[in-house]
């Protein structure tokens, strides 16, 4: 029976929710897939398990509001002109354009973000920049199936000219080609990947993933997901054999997480390898649905939080894993790669923890690490970042003392190339098709989507909101094909931090349950002009981090001390070819060494005051001037907490028994906290002061 022909009474009281555990999500998917509705988009092909959620074709989802502004700034910033800003690597000499220059990852990194940006914005000029890279990759395929650069060259400063045949950069290009096929349907992608994967199946036995470099072993999940993607299209059985081979040669993250030693040991793993590799067990879970793989990843996330976690959703990794001290660095590549991993795991499992972690990184870590004009970025950021200078810090690595400053090439240029995928792929994963032929909004931001539901009916849904600052998300439905109505389920995530979510349909309260930490399914006949409002009340909450410090949160946003900033532009005279011609240092103009007064026994509503600002520019909320929400709280300066090596000194332990005498003499002040993502200088992990 076609979904759109079901009588509304069959759906009216069908109120479904499922818990955040992924197996429950899969049960719901199976319930609807047993002949009730045909799916409109390609799900996993047997014997792979069915996914509860399915990525929509690239271009189906359009950003609006502040998110559209962010993508436009990318277009006008480095993303849209990196070939001109960084011609030594992104120009015609790049090996992925047939040149004798950089042969490795950086060119593909850029296109992996530029391509989705081009098709999401439907920008022909950006598409024209992408096309030569796609064409060269396809044309480069050799009779044995190999594609890409195949010749190493002598060293040249600033370029990676060796390991041309390494497996790792091709994994990035496979992601590019998947997205290109999603947007265009170009069948040449299918032919190329089929031939290349046959080449891999033969060659990996003699030249395994680690033959050229170790990077491919740690990042094998990117290769694996591409193999499954192609299998779902072609059904070629050899691809499942290849998947087993790749999984066997890749780093065993499952056992790593179960044994727990790596994540509790400083310096044990490269931070970006962790961000990319953490999804591999969940990717492989599709072929071998053993709950062990998901449990291991969840344990891994808990250990990252315990031993290395920082309030903004990231972890100390500068570049090696470096504990949870809030002045340890967190690499920009780690942020965008962790986002991609979370997006893939969410699609496969429907686990709301992955959705919430994705929002935490996107709304806190990502916007602060790139300038408002998207022209400069930090290699590392600090959760407690009170001064930014060119100097040596207590990081695992030192690139000419430029790792913390804002610049085009400062630190290491991998992030210059790789940062572009963050916001476009976030946009692409705001919405999913569902295994029950419906539509899902699992991650929230202003956007619009057009997708097929029920028995192939096109529906357009506009999501109006100022989330993550606004508590109201408003969805409006229409049918561009002229239908008056269609019956399909609409999935919505109720965050774990929201205790009293409400749903209204056309102004009337919905009767179903909206428990925190669930995905709610509203199954009904939707008519053109229908409106659904999801209200997610945001209460101020706190969490504990290094030295028992306190982070302040409201919804998915972490709030940090507002510090007046002075930016100073500097010239690089010693090595401009390596680090660029200029960079920015940032200095505090107001005090930063504050703690929050202990409020044990008090209600947070009596301690924190939320101020929703008016008369600000909501199209771009990611700077102190336009921060839409402020939180006020009582605090004091801690005289003994001073700069050490140009950064916030060792974090005073919170709630010290008997307190610190010097704080008694300090006056109580009202502290202003603003969204972490709107800060450059900040304290986000606060000491808690008890009376002496």
pLDDT computed for residue 612 by the predictor: 97
C-alpha distances in Å from residue 173, one per residue of 10, 179, 394: 46, 10, 35
CB 692 within 8 A of CB 595: no
CB 633 within 8 A of CB 673: yes
pLDDT at 2 over 80: no
Nearest residue to 165 (alpha-carbon basis) of 150, 153, 175, 143: 150
- 151-182 pLDDT tens trace: 999 999 999 999 999 999 999 999 999 999 99
pLDDT computed for residue 18 by the predictor: 47
Dihedral sign of CA atoms 565, 569, 575, 581 in order: positive
At what angle are helices 106-121 and 78-85 packed, to 10 degrees?
A: 140
pLDDT at 26 over 60: no
pLDDT computed for residue 34 by the predictor: 36
Q: What is the mean pLDDT of residues 126-134?
A: 98
- 627-658 pLDDT tens trace: 999 999 999 999 999 999 999 999 999 999 88
Mean pLDDT of the chain: 94
Rounded Cα distance between 9 and 47, Å, is: 35
pLDDT computed for residue 96 by the predictor: 98
pLDDT computed for residue 147 by the predictor: 98
Q: What angle do CA 648, 654, 658 make, to 5 degrees?
A: 125
Q: What is the mean pLDDT of residues 20-44?
A: 54
Q: What is the mean pLDDT of residues 180-203?
A: 98
- 342-358 pLDDT tens trace: 999 999 999 999 999 99
Q: Beta strand 594-597 with 688-689: parallel, antiparallel or unpaired? A: parallel
CB 659 within 8 A of CB 630: no
Rounded Cα distance between 658 and 651, Å, is: 17
Write down the residue that tokens 């923890």 correspond to: 353
At what angle are helices 106-121 and 124-139 packed, to 10 degrees?
A: 140
pLDDT at 70 over 50: yes
Tell me the three state secondary structure of residue 459.
strand
Both tokens assigned to 94: 């790049």
How many CA atoms lie within 13 Å of 672's alpha carbon, on the beta-carbon side?
16
pLDDT at 597 over 50: yes
pLDDT computed for residue 658 by the predictor: 86
pLDDT computed for residue 19 by the predictor: 44
Among the listed ranges 33-42, 323-332, 380-389, which one has the minimum average pLDDT value? 33-42
Q: What is the mean pLDDT of residues 532-542?
A: 98
pLDDT computed for residue 660 by the predictor: 85
Would you kindly state where each structural domain of the chain is located, as residue ranges?
3-54+430-465+472-535, 77-249, 540-689
pLDDT computed for residue 238 by the predictor: 98
b/e code 584-597 from CB counts within 10 Å (16+ = b): bbbebeeebbbbbb
Tell me the three state secondary structure of residue 643.
strand
Nearest residue to 249 (alpha-carbon basis) of 226, 287, 223: 223
Q: Beta strand 609-612 with 647-648: parallel, antiparallel or unpaired? A: unpaired
Q: Which helix (H) or strand (E) holds 452?
A: strand 447-453
Q: Which helix (H) or strand (E) holds 640?
A: none
Rounded Cα distance between 44 and 235, Å, is: 10
High-pLDDT (> 70) share of the chain, %: 95
CB 161 within 8 A of CB 152: yes
Which residue intervals of 16-152 are DSSP H helices?
22-33, 65-76, 78-85, 87-90, 106-121, 124-139
Q: What share of the chain is helix, strand, coil (3-state, %, to 5)?
A: 35, 20, 40
Both tokens assigned to 231: 């299998």
Q: Give pTM, 2 decimals.
A: 0.95
pLDDT at 38 over 80: no
CB 397 within 8 A of CB 88: no
- 85-121 pLDDT tens trace: 999 999 999 999 999 999 999 999 999 999 999 999 9
Residue 394 — very low, low, confident or very high, per pLDDT cuts 50/70/90?
very high
Write down the residue that tokens 């070939």 correspond to: 83
pLDDT at 25 over 80: no
CB 133 within 8 A of CB 185: no
Longest dimension (CA), the chain: 78
Q: What is the mean pLDDT of residues 575-602?
A: 97
pLDDT at 9 over 80: no
Rounded Cα distance between 101 and 619, Å, is: 40
Both tokens assigned to 84: 């001109």
Q: Which helix (H) or strand (E) holds 170?
A: helix 167-184
Rounded Cα distance between 5 and 187, Å, is: 34
Rounded Cα distance between 328 and 334, Å, is: 14
Q: Which parts of 536-581 are beta strand (E)?
A: 540-544, 550-554, 557-561, 565-571
């Amino acid at each position: 029976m076609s979904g759109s022909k079901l009588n509304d009474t069959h759906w009216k009281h069908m109120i479904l929710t499922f818990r955040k555990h992924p197996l429950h999500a899969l049960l719901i998917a199976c319930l609807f897939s047993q002949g009730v509705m045909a799916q409109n988009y390609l799900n996993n092909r047997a014997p792979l398990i069915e996914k509860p959620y399915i990525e929509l074709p690239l271009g189906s989802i359009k950003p609006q509001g502040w998110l559209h502004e962010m993508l436009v700034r990318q277009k006008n910033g480095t993303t849209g002109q990196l070939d001109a800003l960084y011609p030594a690597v992104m120009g015609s000499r790049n090996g992925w354009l047939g040149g004798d220059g950089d042969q490795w990852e950086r060119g593909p990194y850029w296109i992996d973000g530029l391509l989705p940006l081009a098709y999401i914005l439907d920008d022909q000029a950006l598409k024209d920049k992408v096309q030569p890279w796609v064409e060269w990759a396809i044309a480069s395929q050799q009779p044995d199936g190999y594609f890409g650069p195949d010749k190493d060259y002598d060293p040249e400063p600033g370029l990676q000219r060796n390991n041309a045949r390494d497996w790792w950069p091709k994994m990035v290009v496979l992601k590019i080609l998947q997205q290109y096929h999603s947007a265009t349907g170009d069948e040449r992608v299918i032919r190329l990947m089929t031939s290349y994967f046959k080449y891999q199946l033969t060659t990996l036995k003699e030249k395994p993933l680690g033959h050229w470099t170790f990077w491919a072993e740690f990042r094998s999940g990117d290769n694996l997901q591409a193999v499954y993607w192609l299998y779902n299209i072609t059904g070629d059985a050899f691809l499942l054999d290849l998947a087993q081979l790749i999984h066997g040669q890749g780093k065993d993250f499952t056992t790593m997480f179960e044994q727990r030693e790596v994540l509790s040991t400083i310096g044990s793993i490269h931070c970006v390898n962790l961000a990319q590799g953490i999804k591999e067990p969940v990717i492989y879970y599709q072929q071998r649905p053993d709950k062990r793989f998901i449990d291991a990843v969840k344990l891994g996330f808990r250990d990252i939080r315990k031993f290395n976690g920082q309030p903004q959703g990231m972890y100390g990794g500068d570049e090696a894993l470096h504990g949870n001290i809030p002045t340890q660095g967190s690499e920009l590549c780690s942020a965008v790669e962790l986002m991609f991993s979370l997006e893939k795991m969410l699609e496969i499992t429907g686990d709301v923890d992955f959705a919430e972690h994705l929002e935490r990184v996107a709304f806190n870590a990502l916007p602060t690490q790139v300038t408002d004009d998207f022209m400069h970025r930090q290699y590392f950021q600090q959760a407690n970042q009170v001064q930014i200078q060119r100097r040596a810090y207590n990081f695992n690595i030192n690139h000419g003392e430029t790792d913390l400053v804002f610049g085009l090439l400062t630190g290491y240029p991998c992030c210059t190339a790789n940062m572009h995928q963050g916001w476009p792929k976030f946009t692409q994963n705001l919405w999913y098709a569902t295994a029950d032929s419906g539509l899902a909004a699992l991650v929230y931001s202003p956007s619009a989507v057009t997708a097929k539901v029920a028995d192939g009916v096109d529906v357009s849904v506009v999501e109006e909101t100022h989330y993550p600052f606004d508590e109201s998300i408003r969805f409006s439905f229409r049918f561009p094909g002229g239908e008056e109505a269609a019956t399909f389920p609409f999935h919505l995530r109720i965050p774990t931090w929201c205790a009293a979510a409400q749903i209204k349909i056309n102004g009337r309260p919905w009767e179903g349950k909206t428990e925190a930490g669930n995905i709610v399914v509203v199954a009904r006949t939707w008519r053109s002009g229908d409106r659904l409002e999801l209200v997610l009340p945001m209460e101020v909450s706190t969490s504990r981090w290094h030295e028992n410090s306190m982070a302040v949160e409201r919804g998915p946003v972490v709030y940090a001390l507002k510090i007046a900033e002075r930016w100073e532009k500097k010239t690089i005279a010693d090595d401009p070819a390596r680090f660029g011609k200029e960079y920015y240092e940032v200095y505090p103009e107001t005090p930063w060494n504050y703690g929050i007064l202990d409020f044990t026994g008090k209600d947070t509503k009596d301690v924190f005051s939320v101020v929703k600002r008016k008369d600000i520019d909501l199209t771009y909320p990611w700077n102190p001037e336009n921060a839409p929400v402020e939180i006020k709280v009582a605090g004091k300066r801690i005289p003994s907490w001073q700069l050490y090596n140009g950064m916030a000194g060792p974090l005073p332990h919170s709630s010290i028994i008997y307190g610190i005498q010097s704080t008694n003499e300090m006056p109580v002040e009202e502290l202003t906290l603003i969204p972490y993502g709107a800060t450059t200088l900040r304290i986000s992990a606060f000491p808690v002061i008890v009376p002496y």
